Structure 1
């Protein structure tokens, strides 16, 4: 199944990020079989696509750091 093009994704960022558009945040979008991650300051930049299990592993690693 091809990955959806970015305009079809619904991006969101944590409510803890605040409203400052210059803050260091990532945005997430759920897609079929993947979780997309991008830099909120560069919405047209690269998108990291992770399988759900890989995304959970990433979160566990970040929480334990």
Structure 2
């Protein structure tokens, strides 16, 4: 997956420290998720439809 040009953002609900994830939703055909403490590290990619279902799920 080509990640050049990914626009990474943190959740508005994240703590002020860097212990959170960043999400890139501007990728063609995928949503990228990475650890904010390791921006050069691995990236998980998800199908955009599956990501929308995940985000819309009620908290447990």
TM exceeding 0.5 = yes
Higher helix residue share: 1
Structure 1 stretches lacking a partner, 5+ long = none
Structure 2 stretches lacking a partner, 5+ long = none
Q: How many residues align?
A: 59
Normalised by the length of structure 1, the TM-score is: 0.70
Match of 2:46 in 1: 50
Higher strand residue share: 2
Moved >4 Å (runs of 4+): none
**TM-align CA RMSD:** 1.8
